[in-house]
Every structure is written in C-alpha cells, then in structure tokens.
C-alpha cells in the first residue's frame, strides 16, 4: 500500500461512518490524483476553479469534485457542468448565479453556506445573521436548480483546543437550529468542518464532512 492509501485508510477509520472524507488535492500534480484514484478513492477537494477544471479534464469522470475555496460569480460557469458540492457559498448573489448555471446544465447543484466561525479577520464566510437572511428570503424557493444541504466553517488557526472546539460546537448547533428552514431546496444536514490539524476534534463535535490535505499528501 502506498503512503497516500495508508493515510486515507487510517483517517477513514478514525472518522468512522460519522463523516465523509474529502481529500484536498490543491497544488498536487495530476499524477498524485491519478494514483489516489487508482487506490479506489473518488472524493477530491480543490480551492481554485481553474485548477479544478484542468484536473477534471485530465482525470476519469466518476470523481466527485468538491469546491472548497472562495468562488467568484464569473467563474461558476466553468464548474457548473460537473461539480458535486460547493462548500463555499457566501452570498445570495452567488447562489443565484449557481442556480442559473446549474439550470443551463440541467442539473441541481448542492451547496453549503460558509459560515464565519473563526476569530481571525481574513477568512471568508457569512455571519449567522447573513445566513438567516438567505435562508428566510422569499425568493429562495425560486432557485430550483440549487439545494442547500448544510454549512461549512473553518476554525481559528490556534493551538487553543478549547477555542477550536467551541467554534465547531457553535457551527454544529447552528446547523441543527437551521433545520427549521427545511424546504424543497433546503435541507441542512451536512456540516463540513475539520482539516488536517483538527479533524478529530471536528468529528467529536459532529462534523459530517472533513476536508483533509496535508495529513494525506504531506506538506504543500
């Protein structure tokens, strides 16, 4: 077994069936993704549209592609034909654009609302109030080619485990509260949280999707 295969297998055992693993392949060459694919793994996460499209074009078509990085509205059209889950929706305008491009491709695209949970200034995401505004907006029901299936968050980059834990706990709680917005195109079930440094903590706090890169592929 290659070390990539061993790492994936170990992480999948650690997170159990409680969560799905997205292998974050950003910056890794296509050969590394090909090797990972050949070991049987099918769920890849990229943070840049262009890089994801290039890799999509070169690799087998039964891969599940997850966009985990910030998405600009003018780039939605490039990924709309094939993306599996967009983790990083942070505005209503973006949601409308995803809906429009999904419709052109005769698809329903699953999306997570990215919520700002860290204490740092630099990360993207919606406040709780902004997420509520989107979920309670009258016109959301018109977006028939998207489905909001959960929330995503990135914890603070800190050694303080109790802080990270409380940020994860808050996001999980919010996802449960948001059950009240259930609709034809809204069903908040997934919580995408946890990266190489904190995925075990995230799963303990109820993560259902972990996004892990360096713990699988080594440092970037």
Q: What CA–CA distance (Å, rounded) separates 24 from 60?
A: 17
Q: Which is nearer to ligand PLP, 39 or 214 (CB)?
A: 214
Q: In angstroms, give the least distance from the CB of 155 to ligand PLP.
A: 11
Q: Which is nearer to ligand PLP, 5 or 51 (CB)?
A: 51
Per rule CB under 6 A, count of chain residues that contact ligand PLP: 14
Which position among 68, 85, 94, 134 is part of the footprint of ligand PLP (CB under 6 A)?
68
For 173, residues 6+ apart whose C-beta sits below 8 A from its C-beta are: none
Query: Count of CB atoms within 10 A of residue 10's CB?
Result: 12
95 forms part of the interface with ligand PLP (CB under 6 A) = no
| Nearest residue relative to ligand PLP (C-beta) | 213
- In Å, how far are 13, 46, 75, 192, 214 from 19, measured between CA atoms? 10, 19, 29, 9, 18
Q: Which is nearer to ligand PLP, 170 or 197 (CB)?
A: 197
For 39, residues 6+ apart whose C-beta sits below 8 A from its C-beta are: 1, 2, 4, 5, 8
207 forms part of the interface with ligand PLP (CB under 6 A) = no
Q: What CA–CA distance (Å, rounded) separates 10 from 43?
A: 16
For 145, residues 6+ apart whose C-beta sits below 8 A from its C-beta are: 98, 99, 100, 102, 103, 107, 108, 109
Q: In angstroms, give the least distance from the CB of 59 to ligand PLP.
A: 19
146 forms part of the interface with ligand PLP (CB under 6 A) = no
Q: Which is nearer to ligand PLP, 140 or 193 (CB)?
A: 193
Q: For residue 195, give the 3-state DSSP assignment.
A: coil
Q: What CA–CA distance (Å, rounded) separates 124 from 177?
A: 22
158 forms part of the interface with ligand PLP (CB under 6 A) = no
- Rounded to 10°, the helix 3-15/30-38 angle is 60
196 forms part of the interface with ligand PLP (CB under 6 A) = yes
4 forms part of the interface with ligand PLP (CB under 6 A) = no
213 forms part of the interface with ligand PLP (CB under 6 A) = yes
208 forms part of the interface with ligand PLP (CB under 6 A) = no
The residues that touch ligand PLP, with contacts defined as CB under 6 A, are: 24, 26, 47, 68-69, 154, 195-197, 211-215
């Amino acid at each position: 077994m290659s070390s990539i295969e061993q790492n994936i297998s170990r992480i999948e055992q650690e997170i159990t069936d409680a969560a799905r693993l997205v292998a974050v392949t950003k910056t890794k060459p296509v050969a590394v993704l090909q090797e990972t694919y050949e070991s049987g793994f099918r769920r890849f996460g990229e943070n840049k549209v262009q890089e994801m499209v290039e890799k999509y074009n070169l690799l087998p078509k039964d891969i599940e592609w997850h966009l985990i990085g910030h998405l600009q509205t003018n780039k939605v059209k490039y990924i709309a034909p094939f993306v599996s889950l967009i983790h990083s929706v942070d505005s209503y305008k973006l949601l409308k654009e995803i809906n429009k491009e999904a419709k052109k491709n005769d698809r329903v695209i699953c999306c997570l609302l990215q919520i700002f949970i860290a204490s740092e200034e630099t990360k993207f995401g919606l406040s709780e109030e902004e997420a509520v505004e989107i979920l309670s907006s009258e016109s959301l029901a018109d977006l028939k080619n998207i489905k909001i299936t959960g929330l995503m968050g990135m914890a603070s980059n800190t050694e303080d485990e109790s802080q990270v834990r409380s940020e994860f706990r808050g996001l999980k709680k919010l996802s449960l509260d948001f059950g009240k917005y259930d609709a034809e195109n809204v069903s908040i079930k997934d919580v995408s949280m946890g990266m190489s440094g904190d995925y075990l903590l995230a799963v303990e706090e109820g993560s259902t999707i972990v996004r892990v890169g360096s713990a699988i592929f080594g440092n970037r």
